[in-house]
């Protein structure tokens, strides 16, 4: 089975089943990562070299094992499909986003705040309806890049080993990549590696949002606003996504008890419930576009 057909199968499996309800492999990996962090970063005293060592021990053996598994006859193609399925978060993202939009549409702000709190790391208890819609829309655009498109990109580049390497690295960044006293040095490697792995996919995602949305506005926002964002990869994705939707994102938000004044992204009115769904439609449409283009390329090459 070709890599493109395996990608289609993996996406279809995720769309049909969503994340495994039990024994998700990333849960087990998270426990391993916690043990490594306790060993190499006791009381937050680890240095960058300790972070590099912990990252290598967490990621490389599993990646090398996958390299061997995909070479096996008969089951190699199954490993490819299952690896992509386990790495993707497409349906999961949709399942988190839709209840937020629905609660906003029904005027149930407490539930909307609670549900959007499952998607973002900012404080949500005091958000008004616009703040909830903004947080939900931003999360869909950014997590669509990290949990969907980047995983698909690395699968298309290097199959199961590529997507596994990316997904484990992304998970370690989420666990260790904080700029605080505990992780400033130890988490440096995890953060930098994740930035590197997301550099090309993030810009392809931004281009996808440009193609599928309000193209001229999305391109203008990407060019003018992305450099102001503190993340080199989230900036292009969110600026282009905001422009594609024709809404205004960014602005003040409270993270871990601290108020952050973030640059404005996009142009137009603040987002509403329907814009969370429109953002999700961008992600679904982008995935279909990527798969269709890759199938066309494969047919032409063949």
Predicted pLDDT at 164? 97
pLDDT band at residue 6 using 50, 70 and 90 as cut-offs: very high
Please, which residues have CB within 8 angstroms of residue 277's CB and are 6 or more apart in sequence?
97, 98, 101
**Rounded Cα distance, 58 and 26, in Å:** 12
User: Would you say 249 and 266 are in contact if contact means Cβ atoms under 8 Å apart?
Assistant: yes
**Helix (H) or strand (E) run with residue 200 in it:** helix 188-212
Residue pLDDT, tens place only, 136-153: 999 999 999 999 999 999
Domain ranges of the chain: 3-301
Predicted pLDDT at 251? 86
pLDDT (average), residues 165-172:
96
Residue pLDDT, tens place only, 205-221: 999 999 999 999 999 99
Closest to 282 measured CA to CA, from 221, 251, 237, 228: 237
* CA–CA–CA angle 141, 171, 97 (5° rounding): 30
Residue pLDDT, tens place only, 20-77: 777 778 888 989 999 999 999 998 888 999 999 999 999 999 999 999 999 998 899 9
Residue pLDDT, tens place only, 219-277: 999 999 999 998 899 999 999 999 999 999 998 887 777 777 889 999 999 999 999 99
In which residue are the tokens 């950014």 written? 142
């Amino acid at each position: 089975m070709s890599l493109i057909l395996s990608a289609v199968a993996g996406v279809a499996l995720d769309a049909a089943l969503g994340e495994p309800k039990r024994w998700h492999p990333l849960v087990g990996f998270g426990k391993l990562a916690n043990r490594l962090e306790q060993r190499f970063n006791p009381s937050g005293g680890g240095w960058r070299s300790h972070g590099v060592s912990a990252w290598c021990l967490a990621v490389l053996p599993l990646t090398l094992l996958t390299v061997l598994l995909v070479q096996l006859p008969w089951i190699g193609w199954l490993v490819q499909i299952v690896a992509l399925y386990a790495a993707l978060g497409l349906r999961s993202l949709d399942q988190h986003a839709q209840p937020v939009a629905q609660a906003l549409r029904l005027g149930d702000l407490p539930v909307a705040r609670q549900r959007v709190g499952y998607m973002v790391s900012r404080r949500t208890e005091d958000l008004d309806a616009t703040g909830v819609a903004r947080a939900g829309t931003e999360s869909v655009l950014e997590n669509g890049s990290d949990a969907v498109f980047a995983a698909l990109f690395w699968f298309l580049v290097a199959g199961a080993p590529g997507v596994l390497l990316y997904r484990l690295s992304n998970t370690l960044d989420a666990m260790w990549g904080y700029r605080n006293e505990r992780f400033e040095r130890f988490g440096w490697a995890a953060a930098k590696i994740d930035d590197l792995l997301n550099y090309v996919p993030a810009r392809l995602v931004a281009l996808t949002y440009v193609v599928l949305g309000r193209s001229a506005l999305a391109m203008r926002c990407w060019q003018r606003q992305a450099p102001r964002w503190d993340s080199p990869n989230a900036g292009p994705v969110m600026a282009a996504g905001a422009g594609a939707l024709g809404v205004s994102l960014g602005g003040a938000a409270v993270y871990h008890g601290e108020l952050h004044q973030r640059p404005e992204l996009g142009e137009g009115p603040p987002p509403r419930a329907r814009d969370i769904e429109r953002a999700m439609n961008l992600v679904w449409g982008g995935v279909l576009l990527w798969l269709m283009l890759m199938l066309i390329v494969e047919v032409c090459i063949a």
